[in-house]
Amino acid sequence: AQSVTQLDSHVSVSEGTPVLLRCNYSSSYSPSLFWYVQHPNKGLQLLLKYTSAATLVKGINGFEAEFKKSETSFHLTKPSAHMSDAAEYFCVVRLPMGDDKIIFGKGTRLHILP
């Protein structure tokens, strides 16, 4: 069965410190992986995506994620948090091979402390 697990429902970091949002997936195939961000009362915005090219993916707003097949992980990182990063982040798996569903993680709410 395919699944996505975001290990933390809430993460709090101080402004200027690194951010780590964890995501593990389970898939029988080589999936495409995405991170989306949702700011309060807004829609979802694509941060970055992995589609079997480079394993280290750079996204918008200074975020990046590394695909580690051996660990089935796709953790999202940022070297220095900014107040505007406070939002909910979703890790997403897109299934290949003609089944075009995507599976969302439960989300991680990122809090930035001044």
- Which residues in this chain contact other proteins in the complex, by CB under 8 A? 32, 34, 36, 41-46, 49, 51, 90, 94, 100-102, 104, 106-107
Q: In the chain, where do the E strands start and end?
A: 3-6, 10-14, 19-21, 23-26, 32-38, 44-50, 56-58, 64-68, 73-78, 87-94, 102-104, 108-113
Query: Smallest distance, Å, CB 93 to other proteins?
Result: 12
Distance of CA 112 to CAs 68, 85, 88, 105, Å?
27, 7, 12, 21
Nearer to other proteins, 81 or 108 (CB): 108
Question: Is 89 within 8 Å of 59 (Cβ atoms)?
Answer: no
Query: Smallest distance, Å, CB 45 to other proteins?
Result: 7
49, amino acid identity: K
Nearer to other proteins, 31 or 112 (CB): 31
Query: Smallest distance, Å, CB 16 to other proteins?
Result: 29
Nearer to other proteins, 28 or 70 (CB): 28
Query: Smallest distance, Å, CB 43 to other proteins?
Result: 4
Nearer to other proteins, 43 or 114 (CB): 43
